[in-house]
Copies of this chain bind each other. A is one copy, B any other.
Amino acid sequence: MGPLQIKDLLLQAPESQSVTLKGWVRTKRESKNAIFIALNDGSTINNIQAVAQPGQFSPELLLTVTTGSCLKITGRLVESMGAGQNVEVQIEDLHVYGTADVDTYPLQPKKHSLEFLREIAHLRPRTNTFSAILRVRHTLAFAINKYFHDKGFFYLHTPIITASDAEGAGEMFRVTTLDLDKPPRTDEGKINYKEDFFGREANLTVSGQLEGELGAMALSKIYTFGPTFRAENSNTTRHLAEFWMIEPEMAFFELQDNMDLAEDFVKTVITYALENCKDDLNFLQNRLAEEDKNKPQNERSLPLLEKLRFVVDNPFERLTYTEAIEILLQSKPHKEKKFQFPVGWGIDLSSEHERYLVEKHFKKPVILTNYPREIKSFYMKLDDDGKTVRAMDVLFPGIGEIIGGSQREDNYEKLLERVNEVGIDPETIWWYLETRKFGTAPHSGFGLGFERLVLFVTGMTNIRDVIPFPRYPKSAEF
Contacts and interface: CB of A to CB of B under 8 A. Distances in A.
Contacts of A244: 157
B98 A440 contact: yes
Contacts of A149: 138, 142
Interface string A73-106: 0000000000000000000000001111100110
Given A101-B437, A138-B156, 4 more contacts: A70-B439, A98-B438, A157-B227, A161-B241
Contacts of A164: 478
Contact of A152 (B5, B141, B218): B5
Interface in A102-152: 104-105, 120-123, 125-126, 130-131, 134-135, 137-138, 141-142, 145-146, 149, 152
Chain B CB within 10 Å — which of A42, A121, A134, A250 has the most?
Answer: A42
Interface stretch (A256-264, A293-301, A327-335, A336-344): A256-264
A43 interface: yes
Contacts of A469: 158-159, 211
A130 to B, nearest CB: 8
Interface stretch (A195-203, A355-363, A381-389, A392-400): A195-203
Interface string A456-478: 00000000000111010111111
A315 interface: no
Q: Which 5 A-B pairs have the closest CB atoms?
A: A98-B440, A42-B219, A125-B218, A122-B431, A199-B474
Given A125-B214, A175-B204, A99 B439 contact: yes
17 contacts: A43-B221, A70-B439, A70-B440, A97-B410, A98-B436, A100-B439, A104-B437, A122-B435, A123-B214, A125-B215, A137-B155, A159-B478, A160-B160, A160-B229, A163-B476, A180-B191, A215-B468
Interface string A301-328: 0000000000000000000000000000
A241 B244 CA distance: 21
A1 B157 contact: no
Nearest to A227: B160
Interface residues of A, number: 117
Interface string A242-253: 101000001111
A271 interface: no
A379 interface: no
Contacts of A264: 1
A441 interface: yes
Given A155-B142, A175-B173, A177-B174, A432 B161 contact: no
Given A1-B261, A126-B218, A159-B476, A180 B183 contact: yes
Contacts of A5: 152, 220
A352 interface: no
A217 B149 CA distance: 31
A59 interface: no
A291 interface: no
Contacts of A233: 197
Given A215-B134, A218-B42, A477-B431, A141 B155 contact: yes
B97 A2 contact: no
Contact of A155 (B101, B138, B155, B229): B138
Contacts of A181: 190-191
Nearest to A444: B2
Nearest to A172: B177
A347 interface: no
